[in-house]
Structure 1
């Protein structure tokens, strides 16, 4: 079954884009569509127009509308994690620095599910 994954990134350099440290403040989200063989069909960079500022806008609301199967992040806050869980979206913990590396981890199923949010999502 085709799958969509979303990864917060710091720049628009395609598959070599570096992951953003903070989910809600990521400048862009990479939207990756995979076919049944988990090959990349399409990659697009979407500006984070919902960067959160004191709860006024929430990035996760916009991501849920894109209907991903999974999101790959270094970490995220409790409210964002709960919103994705409620929407049936799996949140996975990134184990690499670039978009291509985390996509590889996703394909190999080496990424762990993120089960706890933190007050501020920072990389360990």
Structure 2
């Protein structure tokens, strides 16, 4: 089966398609990676831990996820660094609509998701060192 779409969604838990969508991309404990075939059927779902510096790891989550070669990122909110990084890499970034991965994927397949624009407007409780 040929993968035609790889969708990455930040999630709160490791419950596969029933995983709860995280409210903020960079602080999500996990990322769901969903592969779709040309007919929009799910052929693989994986949940991987967020190894970014926001959660004590290294690097920025968006930089770490580029290695997965996603075609679409779906999130409720995202900082401007992640948003611009994905957009510059030609990856579509959409606003999540739904509380679980399966709901978000259904809305994606039905064309109900809109582009995520402008990074998250809130102040972060952390500091980056550059």
RMSD over aligned CA atoms reads 1.8
Q: How far has the Cα of 1:52 moved from its partner?
A: 2.5
State which structure, 1 or 2, has the greater radius of gyration over its C-alpha atoms.
2
**Aligned counterpart for 1:47 among listed residues 36, 49, 58:** 49
Q: Are 1:95 and 2:67 an aligned pair?
A: no
Asked which structure has the greater RCO (Cα within 8 Å, sep 6+), the reply is 1
- 1:18 corresponds to which residue? 20
The 8 Å contact of residues 78 and 119 in structure 1, kept in 2 or not, is answered as: no
The 8 Å contact of residues 72 and 92 in structure 1, kept in 2 or not, is answered as: yes
TM-score w.r.t. length of structure 1: 0.90
CA distance in 2, matches of 1:42, 1:51: 27
Structure 1 unpaired stretches of 5+ = none
Q: How many residues align?
A: 120
TM-score w.r.t. length of structure 2: 0.86
After TM superposition, the structure 1 = structure 2 runs for residues 1-124 of structure 1, keeping only pairs within 5 Å, are: 2-52=4-54, 57-120=59-122
Q: How far has the Cα of 1:120 moved from its partner?
A: 3.8
Structure 2 unpaired stretches of 5+ = 124-130
